[in-house]
């Protein structure tokens, strides 16, 4: 077993890793930034060459790609939404057309996609991993997760209104998405993944978008199905729920996750995360993508990394760093470098 894979497994399992491992988002040949970047042109950020874990994300399979009047990219994904990739580079994509789901009958009649259409993606990524990354831990990502797909299909306002006006409709949409994503799990295994992480959104920075009781009763069991399927295929299970999830943190802990990922740790609070997770559940954490990495000084970024280590790491492990440069928008180079330097202080044993 390689040093990188061993360090990741020991951090996740509280097996006393020799250093705090680092996962990298911007991995050459794998990272495509929601289909807006050629993975072959991605370069590893300076200082992160010895990363331990590689992101490999399934986003969508596009049925057609064209150009708008001003040359911007337009594309249709398998769920039936039409996206535009803005010219300004500020965001990865925007949904400009979506199906009409005014009734349950329209949901049932929708041409839901066949998961087998994803085979070319997974087969191509399997070849890349075998060629370039056999010595690295591979974390497969499902992004967008069930609610993010449902928000695209129904719109944010539409979904939140339908949760109370027509809960059965929303549950049916999310159920269709979960069934599709369950079918992707064995494909991640065949690709070479050691872990599958679901990225989703049910909260903003101020808290949950809807009742925690509603989430707990109607949707948490579907996430539990995804976790169980990942484990059934002998992979670690992880989840990132954007925003402040304090109100459902006990429910997330009740899932049999091996790791929880936080890209916006300031939203939930590092102290709150530590109260729930330290010594009990492995945490993967980035410098806050909305606050510190976006606007912080190098010293503030270093202080946040030090705080992660102080409050979440233990002599037995339990912490993994997530380093990133990102794309659309790309973070300032001096902040990206500050993040990596701060993390590398705790990785001196890596070979």
The pLDDT tens digits for 147-167 are 999 999 999 999 999 999 999
pLDDT of residue 351: 57
What confidence tens digit (pLDDT) does each residue in 117-157 have?
A: 999 999 999 999 999 999 999 999 999 999 999 999 999 99
pLDDT of residue 71: 82
What backbone torsions phi and psi does residue 197 show, to the nearest 5 degrees?
A: -115, 130
pLDDT confidence tier of residue 116, bands split at 50, 70 and 90: very high
E strand map for 174-281 = 195-201, 203-204, 207-208, 236-242, 259-262
| Over residues 177-190, mean pLDDT | 98
pLDDT of residue 165: 96
Nearest by Cα to 31 from 238, 323, 237, 326: 326
pLDDT confidence tier of residue 258, bands split at 50, 70 and 90: very high
Residue 41: partners with Cβ closer than 8 Å, 6 or more residues away? none
Phi/psi-derived region of residue 16, left when phi > 0, alpha when psi is between -120 and 50, beta in every other case: left
Using the predicted structure, report yes or no on whether residue 321 has a pLDDT greater than 80. yes
Q: Is residue 69 part of a domain?
A: no
Q: Is residue 75 part of a domain?
A: no
Structure tokens at 238: 């992880």
CA distance 327 to 26: 9
pLDDT of residue 1: 74
Q: Is residue 94 part of a domain?
A: no
CA distance 278 to 255: 16
pLDDT of residue 89: 79
Count CB neighbours of 9 within 10 A: 19
User: Beta strands 203-204 and 207-208: pairing type?
Assistant: antiparallel
pLDDT of residue 186: 98
Using the predicted structure, report yes or no on whether residue 216 has a pLDDT greater than 80. yes
- Residues linked to residue 257 through DSSP beta bridges, in sequence order: none
Q: Is residue 246 part of a domain?
A: yes
Q: Regarding predicted confidence, which is higher, 71 or 293?
A: 293
Please report where in the chains the tokens 């037995």 appear, as a residue: 316
pLDDT of residue 66: 85
Going edge to edge, which strands form the sheet with 94-97? Answer: 62-67, 73-77, 82-85, 94-97
pLDDT of residue 118: 98
| Over residues 9-38, mean pLDDT | 97
Using the predicted structure, report yes or no on whether residue 68 has a pLDDT greater than 90. no
What confidence tens digit (pLDDT) does each residue in 264-292 have?
A: 999 999 999 999 999 999 999 999 999 99
E strand map for the chain = 22-24, 53-58, 62-67, 73-77, 82-85, 94-97, 137-142, 195-201, 203-204, 207-208, 236-242, 259-262, 282-285, 319-323
pLDDT of residue 88: 81
Using the predicted structure, report yes or no on whether residue 344 has a pLDDT greater than 80. yes
Query: What is the domain extent for residue 146?
Result: 3-59+101-344
Q: Count how many residues are written for the chain.
A: 351
pLDDT of residue 29: 98
Q: Is residue 215 part of a domain?
A: yes
CATH assignment of the domain containing 293: 3.20.20.210
Peptide bond before 144: cis, by omega within 30 degrees of 0? yes
Question: Do 245 and 266 contact (CB within 8 A), yes or no?
Answer: no
pLDDT of residue 161: 97
pLDDT confidence tier of residue 193, bands split at 50, 70 and 90: very high
CA distance 85 to 83: 7
Domain count for the chain: 1
| Over residues 175-179, mean pLDDT | 98
Q: Is residue 66 part of a domain?
A: no
Q: Is residue 294 part of a domain?
A: yes
Using the predicted structure, report yes or no on whether residue 69 has a pLDDT greater than 90. no
The model carries a pTM of: 0.96
Supply the mean pLDDT for the chain: 96
| Over residues 39-43, mean pLDDT | 96
Q: Is residue 286 part of a domain?
A: yes
Count CB neighbours of 276 within 10 A: 16
pLDDT of residue 67: 84
């Amino acid at each position: 077993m390689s040093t990188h894979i061993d360090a990741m497994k020991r951090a996740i399992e509280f097996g006393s890793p020799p250093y705090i491992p680092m996962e990298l988002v911007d991995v050459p040949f794998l990272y495509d930034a929601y289909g807006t970047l050629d993975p072959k042109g991605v370069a590893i950020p300076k200082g992160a060459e010895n990363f331990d874990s590689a992101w490999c994300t399934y986003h969508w399979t596009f049925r057609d790609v064209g150009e708008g009047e001003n040359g911007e990219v337009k594309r249709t994904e398998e769920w039936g939404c039409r996206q535009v990739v803005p010219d300004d580079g500020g965001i990865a994509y925007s949904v400009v057309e979506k199906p009409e789901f005014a009734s349950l009958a329209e949901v049932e009649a929708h041409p839901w996609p066949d998961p087998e259409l994803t085979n070319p993606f997974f087969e191509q990524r399997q070849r890349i991993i075998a060629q370039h990354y056999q010595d690295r831990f591979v974390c497969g990502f499902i992004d967008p997760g069930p609610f993010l797909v449902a928000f695209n299909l129904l719109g944010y306002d539409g979904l939140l209104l339908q949760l109370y006006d027509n809960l059965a409709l929303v549950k049916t949409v999310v159920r269709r998405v979960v069934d599709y994503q369950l079918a992707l799990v064995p494909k991640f295994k065949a690709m070479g993944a050691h872990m599958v992480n679901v990225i989703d959104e049910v909260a903003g920075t101020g808290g949950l978008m809807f009742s925690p009781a509603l989430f707990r009763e109607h949707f948490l069991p579907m996430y539990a199905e995804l976790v169980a399927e990942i484990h059934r295929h002998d992979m670690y299970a992880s989840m990132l729920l954007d925003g402040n999830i304090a109100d459902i943190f006990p429910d997330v802990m009740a899932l049999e996750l091996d790791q929880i990922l936080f890209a916006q740790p300031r939203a939930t609070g590092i102290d709150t995360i530590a109260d729930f997770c330290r010594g009990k559940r492995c945490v993967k954490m980035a410098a806050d993508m909305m606050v510190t990495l976006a606007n912080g000084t190098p010293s503030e970024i270093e202080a946040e990394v030090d705080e992660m280590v102080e409050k979440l790491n233990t002599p037995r492990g339990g912490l993994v760093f997530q380093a990133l440069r990102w794309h659309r928008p790309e973070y300032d180079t001096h902040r990206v470098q500050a993040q990596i330097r701060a993390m590398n202080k705790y990785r001196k044993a890596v070979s």
